[in-house]
Amino acid sequence: MASDKRLVLGVAGFGTVGTGLTSILEENRDWIIQRTGREIVVKTVLVRDVNKKRAVKLPEGAELTDDPARLVNDPEIDVLVELMGGIEAPKALILQALNAGKHVVTANKALLAEDGFELFRAAQQNGAGLYYEASVCGGIPIVQTLRESLAGNQMTSLVGILNGTANYILSEMTTNGLDFDTALSQAQELGFAEADPTLDIEGFDAAHKLCLLIRLAFGRDYPFSMLPVQGISGVDRMDIEFAREFGYRLKLLGEVRNVDGRLEAGVFPMLVHHTYLIARVGGAYNAVRMEGNAVGPVFLHGLGAGATPTGSAVLSDIMAVARGCAPNNTGFVEQVPAPADIMPPEEAEACYYFRVMVRDQPGVLRDLAGAMARQDISIAQAVQKGQDPGGVPIVFMTHEAKARNVAAALEDLKGAGLLLAEPVHYRIL
């Protein structure tokens, strides 16, 4: 039913996502009214510097402010849209808005992953919605899918490319033979990577998103501080080429599995066989494969960042408010989930890829295999690349092995003096 009452927004932050949101609101104005029965307008935009010249004009009728209180205390503003980034300032602003009875839409995965429970409690106490579709995987509707569409399923596993910057870098190293530093520089020039790319390339951005997905998929809290995380800054083009020879692609993946009631999770570079859909996801795209006990496997794929893809996700939450949907903030009755029963990372089992640099002399492969066998690790394939008395790489794949056994085998190899350089090892999906 159409409503004469407009939905009024206060937007905190007018960067990439904020400007993307306002451009969609303007371009799709009539379509949004057809979908929701209401006009959605921006009244106030919070920025650091109101005098800064901006390439994108403000929405018609909107005004700039550098005073956060104007977004919270204005009774005409129905929804706070938080697109600032950071943790402390956004948390304070969101809490004030929720306590004032306003709905909140945010893209702030770091805040929700590290310090979000107080916000969900405040939302419940005030009967307000705390929406966060844009916090995970840009334009992919993963939050809505887990919270609503697949809510009747008990999820068994989820694995995904959760960071577009890392995926772009690895794709360029794979497809165009670039080294890591060159691929990173290219990503920065194209706007896919920040000037300081640490969160992306070291896996922390993907880890924040994985924490949120674990809560949505399993209804359990896997603390960010306990999540094993390994980034891609140490990836060598040599290993990408060797992986291709074995039929694999190297991807930075976030993964969680239910193993006999315990959750095994982490963010790691992994080898993925080229026949898997997720191995074929290139560029700055994201993808998530999840499996439920009723629906089976589901695969979602789309742009993981950018002005309009992320703005589209923000708008989907705003439109849910405009329709008067009852808040379903976490997808569960309890807003603070019970702690997960976490499988210790050292107990996790996987097949592994290894590359070791050794002297090209008789008996070396025997000694390598012996060190692995002593830790109950079985080698499935082994290849020596080249012939050079100064040192050659030996690449081998293992059958399933526990992480602690892999770590112990590597220590044995180092202690035996077999290795000429630090060994490289990656999980295989």
Question: How much is the pLDDT for 360?
Answer: 79
Question: How much is the pLDDT for 24?
Answer: 95
pLDDT, one tens digit per residue, over 167-208 is: 999 999 999 999 999 999 999 988 888 888 999 999 999 999
Whether 332 is in a domain gets the answer no
Question: How much is the pLDDT for 386?
Answer: 66
374: tokens are 């002593």
Single residue among 88, 109, 135 that ends a domain in this structure: 135
Q: Is 294 helix (H, G, I), strand (E, B) or coil?
A: coil
Q: Can you tell me the mean pLDDT for 318-335?
A: 92
16 is in an annotated binding site: yes
Over 60: is that where the pLDDT of 397 sits?
yes
Whether 323 is in a domain gets the answer no
HSE-CB at 323 with a 13 A cutoff on CA atoms is: 13
Q: Are residues 189 and 289 in the same domain?
A: yes
194 is in an annotated binding site: yes
Q: Are residues 110 and 165 in the same domain?
A: no
Question: How much is the pLDDT for 125?
Answer: 94
pLDDT, one tens digit per residue, over 45-61 is: 999 988 888 878 888 88
Q: Are residues 171 and 97 in the same domain?
A: no
18 is in an annotated binding site: yes
174 is in an annotated binding site: no
**DSSP 3-state helix, strand, coil percentages of the chain (rounded to 5)?**
40, 25, 35
Identify the CATH number of the domain in which residue 13 sits. 3.40.50.720
Whether 393 is in a domain gets the answer yes
13 is in an annotated binding site: yes
363 is in an annotated binding site: no
14 is in an annotated binding site: yes
Over 50: is that where the pLDDT of 75 sits?
yes
Task: For residue 40, report the phi and psi dihedrals to the nearest 5 degrees.
Answer: -110, 125
Catalytic choice (43, 102, 209, 251): 209
Which DSSP helix (H) or strand (E) runs through 234?
none
Residue 212 Cα to chain centre, angstroms: 9
Q: Can you tell me the mean pLDDT for 14-28?
A: 93
Is residue 370 very low, low, confident or very high in pLDDT (cuts 50, 70, 90)? confident
Range of the domain at 377: 345-428
Give the span between the Cα atoms of 413 and 364, in whole angstroms: 11
Q: Can you tell me the mean pLDDT for 277-300?
A: 96
Question: How much is the pLDDT for 1?
Answer: 46
Q: Can you tell me the mean pLDDT for 236-257?
A: 94
Single residue among 289, 304, 319 that ends a domain in this structure: 304
Whether 226 is in a domain gets the answer yes
- For residues 189 and 231, the answer to whether their CB atoms sit within 8 Å is no
Identify the CATH number of the domain in which residue 193 sits. 3.30.360.10
Q: Can you tell me the mean pLDDT for 383-412?
A: 86
Which DSSP helix (H) or strand (E) runs through 59?
none
Is residue 158 very low, low, confident or very high in pLDDT (cuts 50, 70, 90)? very high
Whether 324 is in a domain gets the answer no
299 is in an annotated binding site: no
Q: Are residues 112 and 193 in the same domain?
A: no
304 is in an annotated binding site: no
Whether 1 is in a domain gets the answer no
Is residue 305 very low, low, confident or very high in pLDDT (cuts 50, 70, 90)? confident
156: tokens are 């068994």
Percentage of residues of the chain with pLDDT beyond 70? 98
Whether 164 is in a domain gets the answer yes
Question: How much is the pLDDT for 389?
Answer: 61
Question: How much is the pLDDT for 357?
Answer: 87
240: tokens are 């990408």
271: tokens are 């080898």
Over 80: is that where the pLDDT of 226 sits?
yes
Is residue 2 very low, low, confident or very high in pLDDT (cuts 50, 70, 90)? low
Is residue 228 very low, low, confident or very high in pLDDT (cuts 50, 70, 90)? very high
Active site residue 102: no
Average pLDDT, the chain: 92
Is residue 3 very low, low, confident or very high in pLDDT (cuts 50, 70, 90)? low
State the total domains in the chain: 3
Task: Write out 194-212 in H/E/C secondary structure.
Answer: CCCCHHHHCCHHHHHHHHH
Q: Are residues 250 and 286 in the same domain?
A: yes
Identify the CATH number of the domain in which residue 366 sits. 3.30.70.260
113 is in an annotated binding site: no
Single residue among 135, 170, 191 that ends a domain in this structure: 135
Question: How much is the pLDDT for 365?
Answer: 82
Q: Are residues 284 and 409 in the same domain?
A: no
Question: How much is the pLDDT for 108?
Answer: 95
Contacts of 303 (CB under 8 A, 6+ apart): 138, 139, 140, 164, 284, 285, 286, 309
pTM for the structure as a whole: 0.93
Contacts of 105 (CB under 8 A, 6+ apart): 79, 80, 81, 82, 131, 132, 134, 314, 317, 318, 321
Percentage of residues of the chain with pLDDT beyond 90? 77
Whether 299 is in a domain gets the answer yes
